[in-house]
Structure 1
């Protein structure tokens, strides 16, 4: 299958390495010059679970700054941060159609609405992944805990194109399941990680530390409670019956992981706070719901983004 991946960060590299290993023709679009040069020169370097830094499997890949020169594809996979969604989809819009759907696998709310402004909604698939990784130098990525990926049609049907992608992902070693309520699952993940990510980034600790103290547990539960109130007000059917269990599982099963938001802060990069806690704040305002804890998280993370280490 001819696959175009938008985004060469940690998750883009993880998916890229698995898809290449599975025999697909993969092109990765990345506009960060340092990352692009590394991918063009070295390919993707996958550091397997629990391996040393020297143990890296290399996967040569076609890496480009833009999708302009690509004539056709069978799948466009969106793995950029939410703030880059608009530009990324505009760049690849000419590829998307009945024979080439767009599959967004991003942790954030609002990406579907952004994509729908550019391409027909019926050509959009949604997904979430619990694969995790850390982007390293020279195009390398270290795979963390978590494997499961969920994909679905927005209307909840199991279409032939969804089945084709599901079969291909699993064949490549990406443990994938088709689901009917993908939007509800997306909200569950966003609510859960909106409780984990900013707290870990502010405290600058791995995920597992967050469940070791009652103060951080109480703070995360308050964020979950506010988020669930917003979801209910918008009639979102949350698929997971117990988000507290999902939160504890995420922290304990990925105890040594640094959250994506913490990695961004440490690397002095923009975070996805606007598509996570910020989105919850926006949805809350639409229903006149008070979410003071989420608002505080947004303000604190934005301060961390603008204050460099030397000025803190």
Structure 2
């Protein structure tokens, strides 16, 4: 079962279904669900467009006992989404979060014992083109591991399933570092584009954008190290520089949320970094300022 049938949920659902796995997409967008059920999920790749038959529904309308629940909702919706499907869980159900931001494991552990929770990170590209339609062009990776730091047979089976579905998937005991590195990347680019309305390339070409991005990455690294996580700031900064050069026209999800007047994930990204920094007595002025600026924009859009 995939909870959150957005761009990433649909990509993973389509590939797993093509590999022969029985699954269900769970979402709240009725038009999207109806399109998938009536005409299949359309997925566009470098090889062209494919139609994948897959079942989709709202949480209250399905009766599907999952071995694995993959969560792809925004972090701010995690608790509500899991609460809506937890009646389908039993003592063998495992849960994997591949969401952005921090705090998802703590939320998941409120619904499933921590030894059956996995966390991870992925950078596969995917864009939702409309109801029942996604586009994914390019390669990526998936890194996963047990949220309690232990490797179990279930973890290996999940990694094997992803590999069978064509994903470049590895079991990485140091996955928490990868999660923090993605958080640092998102804290820089998502917040700056959301506040300025600029594309990634425009931020990179501006006089102050790269300086602010680099400071956010450095501040996130300080907080990560205070939690005994050896985040590679240089690797993150190289990824930011690559994004400036190769994804100049890209509008990150947080900017798209602002454009479409939706709540963003700023609380689970810049906000979570700032909160953990406060606990450790670390100052993160740029990261915290961007958090408050995005929250101001959100509050304006609510009215």
Q: Does the alignment pair 1:138 with 2:131?
A: yes
Structure 1 residue 169: deviation in Å? 0.8
Could you say which residue in structure 2 is the equivalent of 1:172? 165
* Mapped contact 2:95–2:112 kept (Cα < 8 A): no
Q: CA RMSD in A?
A: 2.3
* Mapped contact 1:14–1:143 kept (Cα < 8 A): yes
* Mapped contact 1:96–1:123 kept (Cα < 8 A): no
Pairs aligned (count): 303
After TM superposition, the structure 1 = structure 2 runs for residues 188-207 of structure 1, keeping only pairs within 5 Å, are 188-207=181-200
Structure 1 residue 146: deviation in Å? 4.4
Could you say which residue in structure 2 is the equivalent of 1:22? 19
Deviations 1:200-246 (A, max 9, x none): 22233332343333421101011111111111222223267632223
Quick one: which of 166, 171, 186 aligns to 2:179? 186
CA–CA distance in 2 between the matches of 1:36 and 1:308?
27
For structure 1, which runs of at least 5 residues remain unmatched after alignment? none
Scaled by the length of structure 1, what TM-score is found? 0.88
* Mapped contact 1:277–1:295 kept (Cα < 8 A): yes
Scaled by the length of structure 2, what TM-score is found? 0.91
Quick one: which of 98, 108, 118 aligns to 1:125? 118
Structure 1 residue 103: deviation in Å? 0.6
Deviations 1:267-300 (A, max 9, x none): 2221111100011111111122222212221222
- Secondary structure in 2 matching 1:298: helix
Deviates more, 1:11-20 or 1:233-242: 233-242
Deviations 1:134-154 (A, max 9, x none): 212122112254421111112
Could you say which residue in structure 1 is the equivalent of 2:203? 210
Structure 1 residue 33: deviation in Å? 2.6
- Secondary structure in 2 matching 1:303: helix
CA–CA distance in 1 between the matches of 2:226 and 2:129?
41
- Secondary structure in 2 matching 1:136: strand
- Distance of aligned partners of 1:216 and 1:236 in 2 relative to their CA distance in 1, 3 Å threshold: same
- Distance of aligned partners of 1:68 and 1:137 in 2 relative to their CA distance in 1, 3 Å threshold: closer
Could you say which residue in structure 2 is the equivalent of 1:80? 73
- Secondary structure in 2 matching 1:25: coil
